[in-house]
Structure formats: structure tokens, C-alpha cells
Amino acid sequence: MNKFSLPRQTRTVDEITGSRRLRRMRKADWSRRLVQENHLTVDDLIWPLFLTDGENRREEIAAMPGVFRLSVDLAVKEAERAARLGIPAVATFPQVDLSLKDDAGSEILNSDNLINRATRAIKAAVPEIGIITDGALDPFTSHGHDGILRDGIIVNDETVEQVAAAAVLQAAAGSDIIAPSDMMDGRIGAIRDALDAAGFQDVAIMSYATKFASAFYGPYREAIGTQGLLKGDKKTYYIDHANSDEAIRETEQDLSEGADMIMVKPGLPYLDIIRRLKDEFQMPTFAYQVSGEYAMIMAAAQNGWIDGDKAMMESLLAFKRAGCDGILTYFAPKVAEMLKG
């Protein structure tokens, strides 16, 4: 025998495995379903909707095939569709007209702004569906940042004060969950205090507890019209994507300030963060499958490189496996239809 040859296998497979053949429960569809550890249901889905001014307007977003900016009347119809499909909640994001933007994002304090008009209309037509609104300033600022810009710096405390005031207006319009994505220090506690003082003790807060400085937000910025406006980057307030322990500290702080739910954004590149947060805090935990994740799956599917539907479902089940209680995803209506079908 050559000195580099392996010794001849003399043991049987049963001797090697101790008669534990793990393929036994994979042999048929029924047995695979019987032992499946994680399941995706329509109850896990939150559908983000993009809003625009006007009537009967439906504008496809080039970087997000199949996703549209909708005028309020059409957003109401999509919310009705979501309710029929059993989707528990929608999350709204506005494309604000350039004429309404300024350095302070002051349009967010307009009780009749686009986001609040949509909330009132959806809640009136579909009272049974949950509405999640974002208190961040980036759709409303002329510079595309999530906060008030002073001398080239995003000022934390002024931004927090404005975000908290906007949260009260959103709650008054009918928002069920305030989900501030700005990542300013102290925003959760300030929002909780403001909501409680205004009599909105039952309005919940979903904290973007760990929002990372990521390259995956590009199509979203096209959708809300901030892509060409952003000056610099958001690294002074979003979390460095190299950090994991920092995500724990951010989440712990938000929970101590009164967050009811926590979110990780983006999603798939941060499954390890989802798992750490769920293990550490045992709180309702969500992920946002962001625009770049959606666009990659859609682009690959349109080019015939992957099976888009299978990749979509696999990606969403990965969130459940990592510990998510729910997922914000642009795939929500399609997935709901597939699950029902």
C-alpha cells in the first residue's frame, strides 16, 4: 500500500453512525414536514408601503421591481388587500415633495402631512390592520439625513425633541406602533414620555434598536427621493457594521427606555445579531429585509440565475430560524398569497 493511501474501510455505515441514520426523516415530504423546526406564516409578515402625493398614482420604483409608490387612495386599497390576505400590519414611508423639505425636516410636524393623511385614511377603511409609522426625519430633510443638521453636524437632542413631537402627531392620526429609525440617543425614552403625556399609553414602540451603516439601503433612498440629496454618510449615528457587542448595548438602552419590540436592520447580513438579541433579551424581535436585499433577489431571479420564489421563501425562513417573531418585507403580499394557496 502506498504510504499516502488511506486504510481500507472495514466498518459498516451502521458501525460508523451507531445506527443513527439522520436521512430517515428526510425520505418523504410528510416526514420532512413532521419534523420541521421553524415555520413561516402570514402572521410573521409586515408590509412596507411607499407613499406619494396625488390621486390614483402608482409609480414603479426602478431599483425595486414590483414595488410602487402609491397615492393615499391606492395605499388604502393595498391595505385592504393586506387585510384580506391576513397580513397583520403595514408600515408606511413617504416620498415628500422637494418643496416641503428643509434642513430641519419641519414638515414632519405637520399634522396633515402625507404620512398622517395615509394613516387616517387606512385606519378609517381598514381598522383591523396595524399601522406602523417611522419618526425619522430623512424623508423630510433637504439633506437626506435622519436628523436636524447644524454646521455639518446632526444634532442629537433637537432631533429627539422633534421626533417625539412627530410621534404624538402620528399616534393622533391613528398609528398603532411608532418605529423611529433615526438612531438618536435617548429617542425611545423621549417618545414614550411624549406619548404617555398625550394620552397614548397604548401606542407601542418598535425600536430600530440596531440599524447598521449599510450599503443595502440604496433602493430605499430612491423610493423616498433622498438618494441624490444625501450629503456625506450616516456613520456618526448608525452602528458600524463590524460591531456586534455595540448592538447589544444599543438594544439594552432602548429597552430600558421603554421599547416594546426591537428590530434589526438590514436583515440577512445580520442573522448573528438577531440570534444574539433574541437569546439575550427574549423580547419580540423583528428584522427588516431591506430594499437592497429585495433588489438582489429580484435581479438574480429576473436574470434566471436563481429561482426567485424559492430564494424568497428561504430568505424569510432564515429570519425565523435566527429568532425573529416577524419580518418587514416587500415580498409580504406575494408570500401571503403563496402561503394561502
Q: What are the cell numbers at 35?
A: 419534523
* Burial (CB count <10 Å: 0-12, 13-18, 19+), residue 248: middle
Query: Over 60: is that where the pLDDT of 1 sits?
Result: no
Beta strands in the chain (DSSP E): 45-51, 58-60, 68-70, 89-94, 130-133, 148-150, 153-155, 177-178, 204-211, 261-265, 285-289, 326-329
Query: What pLDDT does residue 5 have?
Result: 61
Q: In 35-174, where does DSSP find H-type helix?
A: 72-85, 114-125, 156-173
**Residue whose entry in the numeric block shows the C-alpha cell 451603516:** 213
| Whether the predicted pLDDT of 174 surpasses 70 | yes
Which of 102, 82, 99 lies closest to 90 in space, CA to CA? Answer: 82
Section 313-324 average pLDDT: 98
What pLDDT is recorded for position 197? Answer: 98
Is residue 27 annotated as part of the catalytic site, yes or no? no
Flag whether pLDDT at 9 surpasses 90: no
User: All 3 cell numbers of residue 218?
Assistant: 440604496
Q: Where are the strands (E) in 134-284, listed by range? A: 148-150, 153-155, 177-178, 204-211, 261-265
The three-state secondary structure class of 241 is coil
pLDDT at residue number 2: 59
To the nearest 10 degrees (0 to 180), the angle between helices 271-281 and 245-257 is 50
- Choice among 10-14, 79-83, 120-124 with the minimum mean pLDDT: 10-14
pLDDT computed for residue 234 by the predictor: 93
- The pLDDT value given to residue 155: 96
Identity (one letter) of the amino acid at 5? S
> Residue 225's CB: how many other CB atoms inside 10 A?
19
Q: 335 near 45, Cβ under 8 Å? A: yes
Does position 288 have pLDDT exceeding 70, yes or no?
Answer: yes
Q: Is pLDDT of 163 > 80?
A: yes
Closest C-alpha among 97, 109, 224 to residue 173: 109
Tell me the pLDDT band of 219, cut-offs 50, 70 and 90: very high
pTM of the model: 0.93
**283, 303 Cβ separation under 8 angstroms:** no
Q: What's the pLDDT at 15?
A: 80
Give the torsion sign (CA, 248, 47, 229, 137): negative
pLDDT reported for residue 19: 80
Res 69 pLDDT > 60: yes
Q: Which CATH superfamily is domain 40-340 in?
A: Aldolase class I (3.20.20.70)
Q: Rounded mean pLDDT of the chain?
A: 95
Q: Which of 101, 123, 211, 278 is catalytic?
A: 211
Q: What is the mean pLDDT of residues 252-262?
A: 98
pLDDT, tens only, 35-54: 999 999 999 999 999 999 99
For position 10, what pLDDT does the model report? 79
Choose, from 101, 123, 234, 265, the residue flagged as catalytic: 265
Phi, psi of 275 (to 5 degrees): -65, -40
| pLDDT(279) > 90 | yes
What CA–CA distance (Å, rounded) separates 49 from 280?
Answer: 31
**For the chain, percent of residues with pLDDT exceeding 90:** 89
Q: What is the pLDDT of residue 226?
A: 86
pLDDT for the residue numbered 225: 87
Based on the residue annotation, tell me whether 211 is a catalytic residue of this protein.
yes
Strand 130-133 and strand 204-211: the pairing is unpaired
Question: With 80 as the cut, is the pLDDT of residue 236 above it?
Answer: yes
